[in-house]
Structure 1
Amino acid sequence: MNTDPITFALIESALKGIVDEMNVTLFRSAYSPVITEGRDIGGAVFNRRGELLAQGSSDLAVFVGMLEYFTRAVTTEFGDTLQPGDVFINNDPFAAGTHFNDVGVLKPVFFGGELAGFVAIVGHWPDVGGAEPGSFASDARDYHKEGLRIPPARLYRGNELNKGLYDVIFANVRIPEEREGDVRAQVGAVNVGERRLKELFDRYGTGIVFEVMDEMIAHSEKLMRAAIRTVPAGSYEWTDTIDNGHRVHLRLTVAEESLSLDFHGSDPQSDTSANSTASATASAVYVTLKSLFPEIPMNHGCFIPIELIMPEGTVVNARPPAAISMMAATVYERVIGVVLGALSQAIPDRIAACPYGLINLTIGGTDPRNGREYVAYLFSEGGFGASSWEDGSSGLVSLYGGGARITPVEVFERRYPMRFLEWTFRQDSEGAGRFRGGFGARKTFTITRGSARVTALGDRESHPPFGVQGGESAAPQGLHLVRSNGDEENLTLKAVGRVVGEGERVIILGSGGGGYGDPLDRDPELVLADVRDELLSVDRARKVYGVVVALEGGQYALDRGATERLRAERREDRP
């Protein structure tokens, strides 16, 4: 490192602070609750080569690394024509994205007449057109059903709005006045980022700032290579399956200080919307590795030692016209699963079991109170996988949703004709083990006025989150509808545009996380504590953990003798 440590730390912190200020700008000025409350956003600052330097402390983890594909696409297509005041927009997963609802805005930053860097921010729009409110469609056979596809394009040229493009976008989305508010907030955020980055150049000079930018990348690369050296060299394979039967296969090869992730053996791209693109698959890999090495500053240097082999035309690198709206709940999560599974063979004491599966719902209709169209976006929480040292956490957003927040019930009930009747932990949903997985969530809501169309984005109904090292899988997920006459229907997590009438109830059943180790080795006192907290039923405590509890004086108590005898019998009966 040539720069003195204090200057390095000041500039590095300033770059991270720029992204955090961009994010706050978006939180406070956007229209959509999924952005302002749920914080489904991600910002970044890049060097003049378009390489990632920093992301925000509150960013959604799914955008880790993905935004670098955005700068790459813009510099490839427009590199020689970039000018001050340009702003680009993109939601194209095949170029640089996740799904169409995640809309990115990027601005090149010029200083002293030269390109000096980029700033970008992405936010989830509740609707981008398509056949159903919310734009998700598990039954889509190609992406045209899923909404408007916007390849990287100039939204502003030299500070002048491209009104033709602007009008086309907002003529093709639901509730355009809200989406206009979101994109204007995003443009405002990158303008803030541009201003702050220029102030940094003005204070320290481009020479020192550029030098620190390069040193940041070199430092993270060095740390990532050192972390990889702690993983035993070798090749490790794992396969995980989507509920539609499509498989994601990984061969992970660990060299002395590099990783190769080869997805050959994954199934061809699906004729459903359970597909991922290269940028989303790369993001899933980076998110998983980042969770294992959290101390390493996230920037381009983390990616250098990692080789990704993603065969085109497979579920991990689908090509047009493949549908992709189920990506997050299917292939993306399976990529996380196979990386964790492969590494569990190499470093079992450091790898957690599989976390719960994402469940997102879009609820759309016309509000009879004011005659206005609405689209509500609801994501559910669940349990994380257990590890060799502790139980999995309960009631969290997904592994790649780190940074997101649970939107308060009151926001939904104030803005939309719906009421929540239940929002609680789901009993017996954990994956059993010496350390158990976290518990899933159970939510119930009703439509209070009129009717609504509900579309689900979810999976792991038939392939629940797996356990490791003898731990068991968690409970499957589900989505149910209770009709006004009391009949209950299994909607499934592939429901598309299902009509829910006034007073009818929708029940969301989220899974827990997988378990770690033999359930019969779990401390009986911990099992008793879960029973007392009503997280675990007495029956499951006995059947799965071999722990006998009974009511004594109005409180559950442990029968140690019966527990020891039952566990001994269970072990003796094993093959």
Structure 2
Amino acid sequence: MSEITHDPVTFDIIQNALEAVADEMFAAQRKTSMSAIIYEVLDLGTGICDANGEIASSGAGIPAFVGVLDKAVKRIIEKHPPETIRPGDLFASNDPYWGGVTHLNDMILAMPVFSDGRIVAWTSNIAHWNDVGGMVPGSMSSDATSIFQEGVRIPAVKLIDAGVPNQAVFDILYVNTRLPDYLRGDLWAGIAGVRIGERRILELVEKYGTETFEAALVDFMDLGERRARAALASLPKGVFHFEEEQDDGAIHKVTIEIRDDAFVVDLRDNPKQSGSKNSSREGVEISAQLAFKAVTDTAAPGNGGFFRPLEVITQPGTIFHVEEPGALGYYSEVEIRLFDLILRCLAPHLPGLVPAGNFASICGTVVGGPHPDHGRHYTIVEPQLGGWGAQVGRDGNSAIFSGFHGDTFNCPAEVAEARYGLAVDRMALNPTPGGEGEWRGGKGINVHYRVRADNNFLSVGYTRSRIPPWGVDGGLDGTPNYVEVLRPGGAAERYSFGTDIPLNIGDVVKVVTGNGGGVGDPKKRARSAIEDDVRNGYLSPERAAEIYGYKPAAAEAAR
């Protein structure tokens, strides 16, 4: 057996190795998945938790997904006491009322890692599955009012028992999807991911010993807490309040209290739960965790210790704490609105840290139907890119996923056309004016999907469709997110939320995401930057003249 050591260098090696293991888990799942939403878009997350379910390290992908894993593992432990768990067990949960946190499309897999007869860690992952049943293809319906309408519920159950698959659960999953081949492939890719994580952790434990490994995890959590409290000490203290009107006229409110020992987010005074736009209690904790990380120490380890100073207060029965059997299909739009709300609340008190408004929506786009080449059902599930807000000294990023959605990518046109029954006629930046300033907001996108068969459908869920990203210090507001259906010979049909909208051959789904807000007086923008915008097609000469007072050099010389 390895000698027990509390050497800080050994601790550092183990802690960095855990990050590498989480990254390898991510790579394994990505490379073996069936669905482009996973292997191209990277709509997944991987992580390692300690024996108690606290997140210790995470791989790439969606930050909001990594924040799910510890909460899911804790719920699994609550339902299955440690004395009933054996080596080789593997658990699954997609139910927000049983640790699933998000919505039924997101499946969590978790596997205990044993050493010396006890659990020393958990490996876990989460990924979006294209279809898990429910009232509409793709399983996300803005018309849903109950979780029972959204698909099959897997409430933190044992999927594999001591290495032996529980075939009944597998069968239930396969029969409750319109895409069984894809679900089967994505499920086993996730199983491969947690198993490779278990293997690598056991190698670490064999090399350094069980006690040293466990001590390194404790030390890592304590490091996270020290970094968080040091950053908290530098924040302005007080009670800050902000409220914001939403597209549907509802008012979302937040009160933040920053004390020497705590960062408190109070969400009690908010609208009652409604339709499918609700979040679980744990989901809003993730939004608060991401915002807390953004305004404290972005370089510190984002482990369970780091979030010890954070407190979140909610009111059951509201959109920020849905009660069963409320629907959660579009939970992401509630959580991203909250992430935005917290940052906007703090922006006046943290000058220069928070940029102007961004498109701030997942912009979930689901298209499907019979494939024109072979007739089998297909479903494309696409989050969308958009424009980020400007900051003092720099323009906003163009065509990037929201900060809430993390390090993910769009599905390339070539892959979309090869795998799905659509043609991609256009994939460009959004040319719509908006977001100008001394530093302009980033550009959204303008993408056209052309339908190649009859009896297809479209379901969408976009926010910031009426109220655009805000400008700062004289910068102009950005532009909204929306979808248009263009039918041959017909008028454009505009949507922000819609379910099972019929599509037929020749129809075009036009996706438009917002430009971010600008910062500063547009009249102060550098001439060279204006010329670059005109040259790159970000800005028409007419708009440049209107907003910036710009005149091309040739015209000025002629005058």
- Scaled to the shorter chain, the TM-score interval is over 0.9
Is residue 2:309 matched to residue 1:305? yes
CA contact (8 A) 2:433 2:543 kept: no
Match of 2:79 in 1: 77
Matched residue, 2:61: 59
Q: 1:129 to 1:429 in 2, by over 3 A?
A: farther
Q: Among 285, 300, 304, which residue is 1:282 paired with?
A: 285
Q: C-alpha distance in 2, partners of 1:66/1:542?
A: 49
Instruction: State the match for 2:394 in structure 1.
Output: 390
Matched, 1:510 2:513: yes
Change (3 A) 1:453 1:551: farther
Letter in 1 for 2:7: D
Question: 1:305-454, aligned counterparts within 5 Å?
Answer: 305-328=309-332, 330-356=333-359, 357-428=361-432, 430-454=434-458
Partner of 1:222: 226
Does 2:548 match 1:546?
yes
Aligned to 2:217: 213
Question: What residue is the counterpart of 2:20 in the other structure?
Answer: 17
Deviation at 1:429, TM superposition (A): 5.0
What is the Cα deviation at residue 188 of structure 1?
1.2
Deviation of residue 261 (structure 1)?
A: 0.6
Partner of 1:88: 91
- Tell me the equivalent position of 1:455: 459
Question: What amino acid maps onto 2:450 in structure 1?
Answer: T
| Contact 2:30–2:38, Cα closer than 8 Å, also in 1 | yes
Secondary structure of 2:367's counterpart equals strand
Residue ranges of structure 2 left out of the alignment (5+ in a row) = none
Are the aligned partners of 2:378 and 2:421 in contact in 1 as well (CA < 8 Å)? Answer: no
TM-score by length of 2: 0.94
Q: 2: CA distance between counterparts of 1:70 and 1:41?
A: 15
Q: Pick the aligned partner of 1:140 from 130, 139, 144.
A: 144
Amino acid at match of 1:226: A
Structure 1 residues 539 and 505, CA, compared in 2 at 3 Å: closer, same or farther?
same
User: Does residue 498 in structure 1 map to residue 501 in structure 2?
Assistant: yes
Cα pair distance change 1:142/1:247, threshold 3 Å = farther
TM-score normalised by the chain length of structure 1: 0.92
Contact residue 525 and residue 548 of structure 2 kept, 8 A: no
Shift of 1:430: 4.3
**Letter matched to residue 222 of structure 2:** A
- Cα 1:111/1:422, change in 2 over 3 Å: same
What percentage of residue pairs aligned between the two structures are identical? 29
RMSD of Structure 2 on Structure 1 (CA): 1.9
Equivalent pairs counted in the alignment come to 551
Letter in 2 for 1:223: R
Structure 1: gaps (5+ residues): 562-575
Q: State how far apart, in whole Å, the 1-side matches of 2:365 and 2:211 are.
A: 49
* Structure 1 stretch displaced more, 86-95 or 35-44: 86-95
CA displacement 1:450-483 (0-9 Å, x = unmatched): 3411111211111222233443321111111111
Matching residue within 144, 157, 161 for 1:157: 161
Aligned-pair CA distance for 1:375: 0.9
Task: Please state how far the C-alpha of 1:257 moved relative to its aligned partner.
Answer: 4.4
**Matched residue SS, 2:347:** helix
Shift of 1:20: 0.8
Give the letter for the 2:280 counterpart: T
CA deviation map 1:199-231 (0-9, x unaligned): 111100011111111111111111111112221
Distance between the aligned counterparts of 1:535 and 1:289, measured in 2?
A: 34
Deviations 1:10-41 (A, max 9, x none): 11111011111111111111111111111111
Work out whether residues 289 and 310 of structure 2, in 8 Å CA contact, stay in contact via their aligned partners in 1.
no
Match of 2:272 among 259, 268, 284: 268
Q: For residues 189-208 of structure 1, what are the structure 2 equivalents within 5 Å?
A: 189-208=193-212
Cα distance in structure 2, aligned partners of 1:93 and 1:463: 29
What SS does structure 1 have at the residue aligned with 2:195? helix
Output the CA distance in 1 between the equivalents of 2:436 and 2:446.
19
Q: Is the contact made by 1:480 and 1:488 (CA closer than 8 Å) also made in structure 2?
A: no
SS in 2 for 1:276: coil
Deviates more, 1:116-125 or 1:252-261: 252-261
Q: Which of 27, 31, 45 is the matching residue for 2:30? A: 27
SS of 2:315's partner is: coil
1:66/1:282 contact within 8 Å kept: no
The Cα offsets for residues 263-292 of structure 1, whole Å up to 9 and x where unpaired, read as 12211111x211111122111222233334
AA matched with 1:550: P
CA contact (8 A) 1:60 1:402 kept: yes
> Which amino acid in 2 is paired with 1:522?
R
Aligned-partner SS, 2:243: strand
> Distance in 2 between the 1:78 and 1:109 partners?
15
CA distance in 2, matches of 1:437, 1:229: 32
Structure 1 position 100, deviation (Å) = 1.3
1:256 aligned partner: 260
One-letter amino acid of the counterpart of residue 38, structure 1: V
- 2:530 matched to 1:527? yes
For 1:323-368, what per-residue CA distance to the aligned partner results, in whole angstroms no more than 9, with x for missing partners? 211221x211211111111110210211112221221211111113
For residues 558 and 385 of structure 1, the distance between their equivalents in structure 2, rounded to whole angstroms, comes to 35
* Distance in 2 of aligned mates of 1:505 and 1:419: 9
Contact 1:367/1:416 (<8 A) preserved? yes
**Letter paired with 1:160:** V
Q: Is the 8 A contact 1:326 1:458 kept in 2?
A: no
- Indicate conservation of the 8 Å contact 1:428/1:537, yes or no: no
